[in-house]
Amino acid sequence: MIPEFEKFKGFKAKSIPKDEPLASGHRACQGCGEVLALRMVMKALGRDVIVCSATGCMEIISSPYPHTAWRVPWIHIAFENAAAVASGVESARKVLKRKGKIPKRHVDIMAVGGDGATGDIGLQWISGAFERGHDFLYVCLDNEAYMNTGVQRSGCTPYGAMTTTSPPGKKSFGQVTWKKNIPAIAVAHNIPYVATASPAYFLDLMNKVKKAALVKGPAYVHIYSPCPTGWGSAGERSIEFAKLAVETRVFPLYEVIEGRYIMSRKITKPKPVTEYLKGQKRFRHLDEGHIDYIQKRVDVEYEKLLRLAELT
Amino acid sequence: MANTDAIVGWKTITFGCHVMEPGNSVNFRTGDWRSQRPVLDKEKCIKCGMCWIFCPDMAYTQTEEGYFEADMEYCKGCGICAHECPKDAIEMVTEEG
């Protein structure tokens, strides 16, 4: 067990910090689930943090020059190298502390990126940073496509989803591949902490992010972020979809502490996936065959996770 | 309501395009994007704070009485608070005029 976790009691509904390190006035769409997830992440971390933000929705909406929504040190970097810059920041602080140029106190270092920056473009850099073992946390806000450039498919786009580069038609049905399992890739690096979280379960999300910050060494948190604009869903239903994704087993919540899988929320009576699929324009064209396939595959993937939790 | 200080000439640009004031996006009122606004029924409200924690625009603050009220200068009218309220105490009303 990780010694840092013993002191951490976890956030309670009544002890959620009132401080907002992310300010109002950002330009996110109405009902954006991603900025909501980011707000909860920042609430959990507080103000003692340096944020390295990859290009993506969260960078665009929070920092249109000359405005910034960040009340913490923040740096914007290109799509691929959020993890590389975060490791640089960590190393630079280590050296400056050794030379006595900055006070010796702990500051969390967070790299944040979307699913494109994490799963497609920045994967190699993240892998490098995990492998070198820098003390930072990587937060992936997964809205399942490249939303800020106009909904292009990414590696994390789920099976059958419509995007502008995977359009459904007579001979196609949207995205043909299954969603890339990035938490599993992070686990494969043998890093001390990996977790998945959803903004619908805000205490769970905040506890996981705090744990990821406390742990010494690299940590990875994969956060599911509903996107009303890209998914063609109603803005007010963002949280509902985040909840449904967990209840239908589409996005299971778990943490992996030093290789041990722990299910955060066991779904014993799952809802059918159709409840999650309907209401989203990106899944509207799917026929029964595809929905059956999704249901079966979701069950298989969940079963795999349960097995892993039992084995480890 | 919209402010114009987002327009910056090349002569006034800071070195390296650094933003010197943290959190200055509060000067940008996103409230004028709104087409509907949340109205709280204080009799039904149980002060649970679900609207506060689920607000993507950080518009909600707690008043001295314990109720949560949305700041109309930032509320974009997404309706998450009304949808997630466990007691249905918040109603979305269409903005007029």
Quick one: which of A302, A207, A199, A202 has its CA closest to A257?
A207
Domains of chain A: 19-311 (3.40.50.970)
Smallest CA–CA distance from B80 into chain A, residue: A236
CB contact under 8 A, B22 and A64: no
Model pLDDT, residue B1: 43
A24 interface with B at CB cutoff 8 Å:
yes
Domains of chain B: 30-94 (3.30.70.20)
A47 interface with B at CB cutoff 8 Å:
no
Average pLDDT estimate for A74-93? 93
Sheet holding A260-263, edge to edge: A74-77, A49-54, A108-114, A137-142, A219-224, A193-197, A254-257, A260-263
Is the predicted pLDDT of residue B8 greater than 80, yes or no?
Answer: no
Is the predicted pLDDT of residue A206 greater than 90, yes or no?
Answer: yes
The per-residue pLDDT for range A243-291, each reduced to its tens digit, is 999 999 999 999 999 999 999 989 999 999 999 998 899 999 999 999 9
The values of phi and psi at residue A122, to 5°, are -100, 10
Q: What is the ipTM of this complex?
A: 0.89
- Between helix A123-132 and helix A82-98 the angle, nearest 10°, is 30
The pTM assigned to this predicted structure is 0.93
* A-interface mutation test, from B13, B17, B80, most A Cβ less than 10 A away: B80
Characterize B6-29 residue by residue with b for buried, 16 or more Cβ atoms within 10 angstroms of its Cβ, and e for exposed.
eeeeeeeeeeeeebeebbbbbebb
Taking the C-alpha atoms of residue A230 and residue A280, their distance in angstroms, rounded to an integer, is: 9
Which of A22, A31, A199 shows the shortest C-beta gap to B58?
Answer: A22
Average pLDDT estimate for B37-41? 92
* B-interface mutation test, from A67, A76, A223, A227, most B Cβ less than 10 A away: A67
CB contact under 8 A, B83 and A68: no
Is the predicted pLDDT of residue B4 greater than 70, yes or no?
Answer: no
Average pLDDT estimate for B50-58? 92
Model pLDDT, residue B6: 55
CB contact under 8 A, A22 and B14: no
Taking the C-alpha atoms of residue B8 and residue B2, their distance in angstroms, rounded to an integer, is: 15
CB contact under 8 A, A25 and B78: no
Model pLDDT, residue B17: 80
3-state DSSP assignment of residue A35: helix
Model pLDDT, residue A231: 92
Say which range, A6-20, A63-77, A124-138, B3-17, has the weakest mean pLDDT. B3-17
Q: pLDDT band for B2, please (50, 70, 90 cuts).
A: very low
CB contact under 8 A, B74 and A25: yes
CB contact under 8 A, A236 and B80: yes
A87 interface with B at CB cutoff 8 Å:
no
Is the predicted pLDDT of residue A64 greater than 60, yes or no?
Answer: yes
A106 interface with B at CB cutoff 8 Å:
no
- Between helix A33-45 and helix A202-214 the angle, nearest 10°, is 50
Which of A31, A40, A72 shows the shortest C-beta gap to B78?
Answer: A31
Which residues are CB-contacts of A43 (< 8 A; sequence separation ≥ 6)? A16, A17, A19, A20, A21, A206
Helices (H), chain B: 50-53, 80-84
Sequence-ordered strand ranges (E) for A143-252: 193-197, 219-224
* Cβ contacts of A32 on chain B, cutoff 8 Å: 56, 78
What average pLDDT is seen over chain A?
92
Taking the C-alpha atoms of residue B73 and residue B87, their distance in angstroms, rounded to an integer, is: 25
CB contact under 8 A, B83 and A26: no
- State how far residue A300 is from chain B, nearest Cα, in angstroms: 31
Taking the C-alpha atoms of residue A180 and residue B72, their distance in angstroms, rounded to an integer, is: 40
A223 interface with B at CB cutoff 8 Å:
no
The per-residue pLDDT for range B67-91, each reduced to its tens digit, is 999 999 999 999 999 999 999 999 9
Helix H or strand E encompassing A244:
helix A238-247
* Cβ contacts of B49 on chain A, cutoff 8 Å: 13, 16
A238 interface with B at CB cutoff 8 Å:
yes
Structure tokens at A121: 């473009």
CB contact under 8 A, B19 and A68: yes
Helices (H), A32-173: 33-45, 57-62, 82-98, 115, 123-132
A75 interface with B at CB cutoff 8 Å:
no
Which of A25, A40, A236 shows the shortest C-beta gap to B30?
Answer: A25
Q: pLDDT band for A193, please (50, 70, 90 cuts).
A: very high
Which of B19, B58, B79 shows the shortest C-beta gap to A39?
Answer: B58
Is the predicted pLDDT of residue A135 greater than 90, yes or no?
Answer: yes
CB contact under 8 A, B30 and A26: yes
CB pairs A-B closer than 8 Å: 107
Quick one: which of B36, B39, B97 has its CA closest to A30?
B36
